[in-house]
Amino acid sequence: MTLLMCPRCTKRRERGVDRSAPSPHCAFPTGRAFVPTNYDCATINALRKLCDRIHNKPEGIIWGWQYNDALDAGNIGVLRIPKGETSEDGEYVRAGGYIVIMWHRDPHIVTSAYAFTQDNAHKLTLDEAEYAIKALSNVAARE
């Protein structure tokens, strides 16, 4: 079964969408890897906002960074993905790494989203995005 949008976009749609803006297009329509033909995806927006919120905290550089250059090269946000729980043999179930997202001028259109781990780089998956949002929301909420 093919999803039309991620769970966050689905919840937003159920609450109602601002009809004055263009219709949102989810960045994870299949529930798997990021697609660049997106507009105002709720999951990608949450990551983008985390970049900003974490970057502006004193300890933020440890967890996230953002550079804005909307008139030329575009904007880039980097989030550190903490390692997940360990399995019974002591190995990490989820490797740590980084999420890198890029957007240009219109913050509702994210053109690139990748996950980098020690072993590889690949398009960001919905599972990785949700894990990072959950793990980093606590960092962003610290005062």
- pLDDT tens for the 143 residues of the chain, in order: 445 788 888 887 777 665 556 678 899 998 889 999 898 899 999 998 888 777 665 554 556 676 766 666 678 888 888 777 666 766 666 778 899 999 876 777 889 999 998 888 999 999 999 988 988 887 666 54
Q: What is the pLDDT of residue 115?
A: 93
Q: How far apart are CA 8 and CA 49, in angstroms?
A: 14
Q: What is the pLDDT of residue 90?
A: 63
Q: What is the pLDDT of residue 44?
A: 93
Q: What are the structural domain ranges in the chain?
A: 7-15+24-141
DSSP-based three-state secondary structure for 142: coil
Q: What is the pLDDT of residue 121?
A: 92
Among 123, 65, 120, smallest CA distance to 97 is for 120
Contact present, 122 and 88 (Cβ < 8 Å): no
- The total of other beta-carbon atoms located within 10 Å of residue 105's CB is 10
Among 108, 115, 92, smallest CA distance to 17 is for 108
Bridge partners of 100, per DSSP, are: 78, 114
Q: What is the pLDDT of residue 50?
A: 87
